[in-house]
């Protein structure tokens, strides 16, 4: 018998997201499941009850009836203990759980003989798990929204402008942490025209920062900062001291600081001290994305936006919820991909396969038995190095040459001999006028080849280099046609002369237009 997926209204204060959306409901039904949604669950995310009904879902009027009916519950925030008490005995729960921080919740779920798949425990290093990675989806939204909140609190443009009323300098933004959220913030701030700087303990993200339009600020201390699962690790005291000195310098220079540093299961590291806040310019903004775990700034008040020492410090803990429709859609899609992995038979039933590394990592409770933490996933073994092959010695041959080997002297002499014979035949029997034109043709081919392929594309693209070189050759030929005889020009008739004039006009447009387009292309990558 197919199972019922239940989607309750989120009870956490200020939470506007919903665990699935009408577009995904249709796909869950195609997998064989029945779907029930609590009345009003999607109102804050612009998903009305009627749209769920149109997609095939049943609307339950109250939470108790929904929890009692649902075999599988999709949620965003971890359930409260009161919600766990409503849960069907032996049912399943899918959503954010954070087992390390919610031990009492884990015990309550185990007592209900539940099977719990914590989307926050997904082994993110597995490439096939990326489609289920809700942490990445929500972090990207948070990084984008952090810049929007900063722009709202900041009193100036992000992009520099020159107006009749005066010159406005571009805003300077510093991003502490270049993970998914940090990179999203870098791209958004750079897109708005700000000068963006960023830092991360993982040196390998420097190229990613640059690709998003930011400048990577390096800490003057050598230490590798990569941790497990795509997160940074806790750094040594020496590194942290050098990092604080760098942050102090940036705090004095920039207008906006966005902090994203957070390691799961640990309090947020203190990056911005009260003394650094005092040195910032009046009207500056700090957006602390780690506020829910205590904050990266010493003066952050979780859930609040406060002004201290003339600096606005934003500690909102609901950044994804402030883009409820978008975040709900992405989260629902992540859960859909997980459901497809659990229901490969498309019969409305799930199979929690503990041999699957991705499913095993997600499963924190199986039929009432706590299975968290999961063992490290078995990564594929590195390919064995290929045995070194001995170089094959090539023996010279008198009858030819191997690939890449120089041509034999005898072959070269034969080719030159044939070429000389052809030239002699042309000179002996062809008319004098043909010989003159033929000589010009051969020289033109040689000169054209040397001119075109020796143009260095240092200031524009290789394609533009070649087309401009060809255009210049055409232009020179046309100038010879219209030049007076005393200057070495030809004696063309009127039609040829006017064709030459048209050729000069068209090639001039091509050359000047090519450089203009190239200049605009290069300007896109300049600040």
Rg (CA), the chain: 34
**Cα gap 44→18, rounded to integer Å:** 8
Predicted pLDDT at 104: 97
Nearest to residue 153, comparing CAs of 22, 258, 74, 36? 258
Taking residue 490's Cβ as centre, other Cβ atoms within 10 Å add up to 13
Structural contact between residues 45 and 328, judged by C-beta atoms closer than 8 angstroms: yes
Q: Each residue of 392-425: pLDDT tens digit?
A: 444 444 444 444 455 566 777 788 788 778 777 7
Predicted pLDDT at 393: 47
Residue spans of the chain under pLDDT 70: 224-234, 265, 379-409, 432-433, 435-437, 448-466, 468, 484-493, 525-527
Predicted pLDDT at 490: 56
**Whole-model pTM over 0.75:** no
| 424 contact partners, CB below 8 Å, separation of at least 6 | none
**Cα gap 463→457, rounded to integer Å:** 8
Structure tokens at 29: 């039904």
């Amino acid at each position: 018998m197919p199972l019922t997926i239940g989607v309750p209204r989120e009870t956490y204060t200020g939470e506007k997201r919903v665990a699935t959306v009408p577009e995904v409901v249709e796909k869950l039904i195609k997998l064989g499941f029945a779907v029930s949604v609590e009345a009003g669950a999607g109102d804050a995310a612009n998903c009305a009850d009627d749209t769920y009904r149109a997609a095939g879902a049943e609307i339950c009027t109250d939470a108790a009836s929904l929890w009692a009916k649902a075999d599988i519950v999709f949620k965003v925030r971890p359930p409260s203990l009161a919600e766990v008490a409503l849960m069907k005995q032996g049912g399943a729960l899918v959503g954010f759980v954070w087992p390390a921080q919610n031990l009492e919740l884990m015990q309550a779920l185990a007592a209900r003989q539940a099977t719990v798949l914590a989307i926050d425990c997904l082994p993110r290093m597995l490439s096939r798990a990326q489609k289920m990675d809700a942490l990445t989806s929500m972090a990207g939204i948070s990084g984008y929204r952090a810049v929007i909140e900063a722009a709202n609190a900041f009193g100036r443009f992000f992009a520099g402008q020159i107006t009749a009323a005066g010159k406005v300098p571009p805003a300077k933004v510093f991003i502490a942490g270049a993970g998914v959220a940090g990179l999203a913030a870098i791209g958004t701030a750079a897109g708005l025209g700000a000068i963006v700087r960023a830092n991360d303990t993982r040196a390998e993200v420097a190229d990613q920062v640059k690709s998003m339009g930011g400048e990577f600020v390096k800490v003057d201390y050598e230490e590798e900062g990569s941790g497990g699962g795509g997160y940074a690790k806790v750094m040594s005291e020496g590194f942290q001291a050098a990092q604080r000195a760098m942050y102090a310098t940036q705090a004095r220079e920039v207008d906006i600081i966005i902090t994203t540093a957070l390691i799961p299961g640990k309090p947020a590291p203190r990056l911005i001290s009260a003394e650094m806040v005092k040195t910032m310019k009046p009207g500056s903004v700090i957006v602390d994305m780690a506020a829910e775990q205590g904050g990266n700034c010493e003066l952050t008040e979780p859930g609040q936006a406060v002004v201290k020492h003339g600096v606005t410090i934003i500690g909102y803990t609901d950044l994804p919820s402030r883009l409820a429709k978008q975040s709900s859609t992405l989260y629902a899609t992540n859960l859909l991909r997980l459901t497809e992995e659990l229901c490969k038979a498309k019969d409305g039933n799930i199979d929690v396969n503990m041999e699957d590394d991705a499913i095993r990592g997600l499963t924190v409770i199986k039929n009432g038995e706590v299975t968290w933490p999961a063992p490290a996933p078995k990564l594929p073994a590195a390919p064995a190095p290929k045995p070194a092959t001995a170089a094959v010695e090539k023996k010279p041959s008198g009858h030819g040459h191997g690939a890449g080997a120089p041509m034999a002297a005898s072959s070269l002499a034969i080719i030159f001999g044939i070429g000389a014979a052809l030239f002699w035949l042309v000179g002996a029997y062809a008319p004098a006028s043909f010989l003159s034109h033929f000589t010009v043709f051969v020289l033109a081919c040689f000169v054209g080849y040397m001119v075109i392929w020796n143009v260095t594309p240092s200031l524009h693209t290789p394609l533009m280099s070649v087309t401009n070189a060809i255009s210049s050759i055409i232009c020179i030929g046309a100038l010879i046609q219209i030049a007076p005889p005393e200057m070495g020009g030809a004696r063309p008739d009127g039609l040829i002369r006017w064709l030459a004039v048209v050729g000069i006009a068209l090639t001039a447009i091509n050359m000047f237009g090519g450089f203009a387009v190239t200049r605009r292309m290069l300007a896109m990558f300049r600040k």
